[in-house]
Structure 1
Amino acid sequence: MSTVSALLRSDLRDFGGYRSARSDKLDGDVWLNANESPWANSGTPEADLRRYPSPQPQQLRDALARLYGAMPEQLLVGRGSDEAIDLLLRAFCMPGQDRIVIAPPVFGMYAVCARLHGTAVIEVPLIDSAAGLNADLDAMVDAVIAHDARLLFLCSPGNPSGEALSPAAIERVTERLRGRAIVVVDEAYAEFSEQPSVVPLLDAHDNLAVLRTLSKAHALAAARIGCVIGSSEMIEALRRCQAPYPIPQPCVDVACAAVSVSALAATSERVRELCAERAWVAQALAELPGVRRVYASQGNFLLVRFDDAEAVFKRLLQAGVVVRDMRSQPQLGDALRITIGSPQQNRRMLDALASAKVEAA
Structure 2
Amino acid sequence: MSVDPKPGVLDLVREDLRDFGGYSSARTEALCGEIWLNANESPWANPADADGNSRRYPDPQPQALREKLAGLYGCDITRLLIGRGSDEAIDLLVRALCEPGRDAVVVTPPVFGMYAVCARLQNARLVEVPLVDDEAGFAPDFAAIADAALTNRAKLVFLCSPSNPTGGSIPLADVGALARKLEGRALVVVDEAYGEFSDVASAIGLIDRCSNIAVLRTLSKAHALAAARIGSLIADAGLIAVLRCCQAPYPVPAPCTELALAALTGAALARTRQRVETVKAARARLQTDLAALPSVVRVYPSQGNYLLVRFRDAETAFQALLSSGVVVRDQRSAPQLDDALRISIGTPEQNALVLDVLQRLDAGSRAVNA
Give the TM interval when normalised to the shorter protein: over 0.9
8 Å CA contact 1:128, 1:134 repeated in 2? yes
Q: Within the alignment, does 1:306 sit opposite 2:311 as a pair?
A: yes
Matching of residues 314-333 of structure 1 within 5 Å: 314-333=319-338
Query: Please, what is the CA RMSD of the aligned residues?
Result: 0.8
Q: CA deviation at 1:133?
A: 1.1
- Which residue in 2 is equivalent to 1:173? 178
1:19 to 1, 5, 24: 24
Confirm or deny: 8 A CA contact 1:295 1:304 kept in the other structure. Answer: yes
Q: How far apart in 2 are the matches of 1:167 and 1:250?
A: 36
| Deviation of the 1:44 alpha carbon | 2.3
The aligned counterpart of 2:279 is 274
Match for 1:226 among 225, 231, 239? 231
Matching residue within 75, 79, 90 for 1:74: 79
Alignment of 1:48-127 (within 5 A): 48-127=53-132
Q: Distance in 2 between matches of 1:193 and 1:42?
A: 45
1:140 counterpart = 2:139: no
Amino acid at match of 1:152: V
Gaps of 5+ in 1: none
Partner secondary structure for residue 203 of structure 1: coil
Q: Secondary structure at the match of 2:208?
A: helix
Cα displacement string for residues 245-284 of structure 1 (whole angstroms, at most 9, x for unaligned residues): 0010000000011111111100000000000000000000
Distance in 2 (alpha carbons) for counterparts of 1:307 and 1:124: 27
SS at match of 2:154: coil
Q: Give the distance between the partners of 2:238 and 2:7, measured in 1 at CA.
A: 9
Unaligned residue ranges in structure 2 (runs of 5+): 1-5
Rounded Cα–Cα distance in structure 2 between residues aligned with 1:25 and 1:44 = 26
Check if 1:247 corresponds to 2:252. Answer: yes
Moved over 6 A (4+): none
| 1:155 match | 160
Whether 2:195 is the aligned partner of 1:202: answer no
Q: Give the 5 Å matches for 1:1-16.
A: 1-16=6-21
- Tell me what 1:44 maps to: 49
Structure 1 contact 163–298 (Cα < 8 Å) conserved: yes
Equivalenced residue count is 361
Which letter does structure 1 place at the counterpart of 2:28?
S
TM-score by length of 2: 0.96
> Using the alignment, how far apart are the partners of 2:194 and 2:92 within structure 1?
21
Change (3 A) 1:2 1:39: farther
Q: Which amino acid aligns with 1:130?
A: E
Q: Distance in 2 between matches of 1:158 and 1:173?
A: 17
Where 1:40 maps in the other structure, the secondary structure is: coil
TM-score if structure 1 supplies the norm length? 0.99
Q: Deviations over 1:3-26 (max 9, x none)?
A: 322111011122100010000000
